[in-house]
Copies of this chain bind each other. A is one copy, B any other.
């Protein structure tokens, strides 16, 4: 195949001109250019790199409304969401510009020489983080802007000093190409080598596989399905030189309704829950796919309200017909599962849309059948009725790793919440109180990550400023003359605004 088409999400029909498909030779050329650009790009000073990230943000805004129109057509998502996501995307780039300028990411450490130490003197030792090398980024279907071509992985890798080769998501090739052109213009205007950013497109998995297998790629960022993430991780492990894959894969995001909160506002919680469940047709990795609560009147009120709201829900356009089909298949499997009962079903979906659905089961059945706990990407969720807090806690212990867990609680639930916290910490990357897991803030204290299989590497986050750490590794310089040291490790650089750990003491 040498060409493919962009598809309008709402109709499932192609639109626009045929698009060229990148092949293995393009992958090799892109990786060669990225490797060639690496030493030049990583040598840029903090101000140059920060200004470059801001320039990308400006170029994205300069595309104007054609970007939003392409976004809406290709994703089926509404204008407000598109504009909001664009804001998040440029805000993310500007956040990383600020992070780059502040310099903490360099983790500068200086242990001065101790020439008179006995029995042996200590040499001068200095450490900084350097970027790992060219990074492959896989755009996500459900965030055509904030988690795709110029999304979080690209922003954090560029911030770290890594050239980026994006494998654009085939569900939004026009959106991706507009963004890629904006970044390419920023690269050129900043006087950086072309290999700093490159964009490959095509509908096949082979393209992505070739990218991960290229020996010049040193790390991979991915957001998508469990199958896709595991396949890439396997390829990365089988390379002559294995590399890290940061795959954000699947999560059902348990929501715990604690007794006092349920008693006080079961009905309101039920309505609010369905708002979070159906937002964006449920196409969020943080979608609340699992409700856990102890039996009682409060839970009955919650279920009644949620049942009512789900029943009234209209089907929504899904990102692709493939995602709509996978959603229908996942729902069908649960409908056919004897351990699961249907509580409510919204108006049925179609080839391009998905309808909401709410299931119910018992803790015992949930624990007995792992399939009940697998992610169904879309507006499907399941209420698990527990006999008591002990059964709820043991269900949590049996859960797979998750991106988030949510506690709905009142002050009087605090003791119960404290008892549940240790297991939640072991199972998830972010714990919320009295909110909904959809809506991931891009800030410094965000963790969008979690134990396997929610991600392939719980030691990191894919949203927020800490994501820069994924693309860095430490190098130590022993007994270097000042002139040979990297600039930021020289004595003369003290006071440049970056913190330094000097002989173990953090100094600003």
Contact = CB atoms under 8 A, between A and B. Distances in A.
A430 B111 CA distance: 14
B480 A104 contact: no
Interface stretch (A168-176, A309-317, A355-363, A437-445): A437-445
B122 A443 contact: yes
Interface in A242-286: 242, 244
Contact of A439 (B120, B443, B501): B120
Contacts of A428: 475
Interface in A421-439: 421-422, 425-426, 428-435, 439
A479 interface: yes
Given A431-B478, A446-B476, A466-B474, 9 more contacts: A43-B422, A99-B504, A102-B504, A111-B441, A123-B432, A431-B477, A433-B480, A445-B476, A447-B474
Best-buried of A435, A447, A460 by chain B (most CB within 10 Å): A447
A458 interface: yes
A479 B104 contact: no
A151 interface: no
Given A428-B475, A445-B110, A478-B432, A459 B122 contact: no
A441 B479 CA distance: 12
A270 to B, nearest CB: 20
A478 B441 CA distance: 10
Interface stretch (A48-56, A127-135, A331-339): A127-135
Given A418-B484, A459-B472, A483-B414, A242 B452 contact: yes
A451 interface: yes
A206 interface: no
A484 B111 contact: no
A167 interface: no
A368 interface: no
B476 A444 contact: no
A473 B458 contact: yes
B476 A431 contact: yes
A126 interface: yes
A449 B132 CA distance: 14
Contacts of A244: 457, 459
9 contacts: A38-B426, A241-B453, A430-B478, A432-B479, A435-B479, A444-B504, A459-B473, A459-B474, A460-B474
A508 interface: yes
A476 B430 CA distance: 4
B111 A445 contact: yes
A39 B422 CA distance: 7
A44 interface: no
A365 interface: no
Nearest to A80: B119
A434 B480 CA distance: 9
Given A133-B426, A475-B430, A480-B433, A444 B506 contact: no
Q: By CB atoms of chain B within 10 A, which of A127, A432, A466, A480 has the most? A: A127
A353 interface: no
A127 B474 contact: no
Interface string A452-491: 1100111111000110000011111111110110000000
A465 B99 CA distance: 24
A435 B478 contact: yes
Contacts of A476: 429-431, 445-447, 461
A345 interface: no
A109 to B, nearest CB: 4
A499 B500 CA distance: 12
Contacts of A432: 123, 478-479
Nearest to A411: B481
A97 to B, nearest CB: 12
A394 interface: no
A33 B357 CA distance: 42
A353 to B, nearest CB: 27
Given A127-B446, A425-B475, A443-B111, A132 B458 contact: yes
Contacts of A133: 426
B127 A447 contact: yes
Contacts of A181: none
A234 B55 CA distance: 43
A418 B486 CA distance: 10
Contacts of A466: 107, 109, 127, 474
Nearest to A230: B242
